[in-house]
Structure 1
Amino acid sequence: MQRDILIGLAAGLAAALLVLAILSGSMLGFALLLLAPLPVTLATLSWGSRSGLVAAATAIAILAGLAGIRLGLAFGVSMALPAWGLAYLALAGFAATDKGQGRISLGSLIVVAALLSTFSALFTMLSMGTSYENVVESTEKALQEMLRDAPVPAGTDTTAFVHNFSRFMLPMSATLTTIMSAGGLWLSGRIARMSGRLPRPWPDVAALRLPHWLPILLGGACVVSLLPGGFGFAGQLLLCSLIGAFIVQGFAVVHYATRGNAARPMILGLVYLLLLFLSWIVLALVALLGLIDLFFNIRGLPGGRSQSPNTTN
């Protein structure tokens, strides 16, 4: 058996074990679930698309055998195959030159990640019910089950909280999925690069720029999100996924603008510390920064370009 197939089988086993950790019901299990696509992405970037596809298929088969076909299919459609597809495009499309400007730019790759996140959220929605109302009802039941034994502050209207949060949970998850897909691809690429297995030059990630036509798609998603029922909900998912793409560009601006600054570690540390405690406020501001940069090219303004560029971040 060829080595890339063996690597794929091992990566698939690792991915399946990470997914099965969620069955513990703990926060650690949830955190491990978020890392489940990494073995697939890493196998693809380090050993080729066939190895990554074997990893995805192996994980799906193991999960289907141990935890049921539904879980295996859900992981495959919502996490494993999108991770493989994104890594495949990363190998085939961008970084064909030392500046990372190949057939698919790095910014276009982030848009692909956003579209895959939308598809993933739509699949999750359809697996929970055939209509928007069914999805909201299923989400409310799941949240009520989670909060049944949780300590709740006195005076809190749990029913109203669950009802409102259930309508925003899937769209918010689409935003986070876009960010985590981009972050997972970056982390896998760094590991592959350190191991000497990355077959492409490392791109200047901080110079990432989204396509100029993206605001048109963003505006269309805004319009569709105002429609009632399932179409409006699908528009919300696309809108939130695209916001995730602008968040990625916003962080790229922060990293780019601080290059060559002696206080860079402190500035970046403060940004990520604030992100930990004020998550959605910071993410909203970073998304706005990414949108402004797309229109006004902040990194191209005098004084906005690094005096000591590097391609590590």
Structure 2
Amino acid sequence: MMQDSEPKSMNPRALLIGLLAGLASALLFAGLVTQASSAVGLAFVAPVPILIASLGWGSTAGFVAALSAFGAVAGALGSVYAGLSILLSVGLPAAILGHIAGLAQPIEAPTGWKDKGPALLWFPLSRILFATCLLAALGCLAMGWLIGYDPSDLAPAVAQALSSEAASSVPPEQLAELARFVVNVIPYAQPAFLVLTLVVCLFVSAAIVRASGRLPRPKDDIPASAGLPRMALFAFAFALALCFTGGSAALVGAVFTGALGCAFTLVGLAVMHRRSRGRAARGLLLFTAYAAIVLLSIPLLAFLALGLFETAKSPAQAADTNQPR
């Protein structure tokens, strides 16, 4: 059974760290809630303080930070809904990810393990990535329910916003068509972007905590370890099928398709990093690939396909195991 590799009781210092981390996350997230254009970008790193608290001072500190962020936003803006927006999209996902990233179970030390301390099997990256998908998708669904998301109501508002920005020569029919396209893309794009945000924030937070010497988990070889469990393929296929049913089921399918699609794309990018190791033109290859993604976006489909292929051809247990460290 997986257990916290370094149980930390809720001492006053850890409690204080959790409270301060929650306040810091709330301040970073405030720009998105108040729709201040100059501070919206800060909301993308709002999970970092909560993840740092959880990874460095224990899971309880992470959950205290999430609740502290909820209380700070709800109290400052006088709205429970505003507080729930940070709790559902940032607070709980970050606290849960920080918790599972610190899970490990002791195993029998392999031959030649002398003087390396206890042999631990850490919660594998593949399942951390899969959990990130689920948390992002559920968070987006909860947010959609909270705000009463309805594509039929949102499309006219988007068309009106576009008409105020577009030149008067643009026909209303084209604006309405563009608005429908934007509304249809949102259920796919929002969870995908949230998955990417959580993955990047987890990586940055782990690097910060490791530099401070408080991270018990050894550094992972991400290109070699990144993957998804085989069950993610079936979940992706089922979610994709739901997209063609219509109604609320199609929206649910779109959200999970977007989240899982982003994760498979990340796996495909990890494969490129792993297979290009040791090659003379590696730098040029990576630069060209990422430049093409930024400029065209279409190459993301190729990496999505590569991630699906890599997951399908891997042994069933390969993506779910990790080496003792």
* Distance (Å, rounded) in 1 between the aligned partners of 2:266 and 2:157: 30
Matched with 2:170 is: 155
Matched with 1:118 is: 137
Shift in alpha-carbon separation, 1:142–1:4, aligned structure 2, 3 A: farther
Contact 2:26 2:86 in 1 (8 A): no
1:260-298, Cα deviation, whole Å (9 max, x unpaired): 22333332233222222223x13222111111212335x
Aligned residue identity for 1:122: L
Shift of 1:75: 1.0
For residues 185-204 of structure 1, what are the structure 2 equivalents within 5 Å? 185-204=202-221
Contact 2:71 2:83 in 1 (8 A): yes
1:292 aligns with 2:309: yes
Matched with 1:210 is: 228
1:175 aligns with 2:185: no
Out of 144-153 and 114-123, give the one that drifted further.
144-153
Residue number among 15, 28, 39 corresponding to 1:5 in the alignment: 15
> TM-score scaled by structure 1?
0.84
Residue number among 92, 117, 138 corresponding to 2:103 in the alignment: 92
For residues 229-244 of structure 1, what are the structure 2 equivalents within 5 Å? 229-244=247-262
Residue number among 240, 243, 246 corresponding to 1:228 in the alignment: 246
Shift in alpha-carbon separation, 1:143–1:93, aligned structure 2, 3 A: farther
Residue number among 154, 158, 165 corresponding to 1:143 in the alignment: 158
> TM-score scaled by structure 2?
0.81
* Distance (Å, rounded) in 2 between the aligned partners of 1:255 and 1:190: 19
Matched with 2:181 is: 164
Contact 2:223 2:274 in 1 (8 A): yes
* Distance (Å, rounded) in 1 between the aligned partners of 2:163 and 2:250: 31
CA RMSD of aligned residues (A): 2.6
Contact 1:95 1:201 in 2 (8 A): no
* Distance (Å, rounded) in 1 between the aligned partners of 2:274 and 2:267: 10
Consecutive unaligned residues of structure 1, counting only runs of 5 or more, are 298-313
* Distance (Å, rounded) in 1 between the aligned partners of 2:20 and 2:47: 13
Consecutive unaligned residues of structure 2, counting only runs of 5 or more, are 1-10, 110-115, 315-325
* Distance (Å, rounded) in 1 between the aligned partners of 2:159 and 2:254: 23
Shift in alpha-carbon separation, 1:21–1:128, aligned structure 2, 3 A: closer
1:40-61, Cα deviation, whole Å (9 max, x unpaired): 1121112211221121111111
Matched with 1:309 is: none
* Distance (Å, rounded) in 2 between the aligned partners of 1:145 and 1:34: 27
* Distance (Å, rounded) in 1 between the aligned partners of 2:194 and 2:153: 21
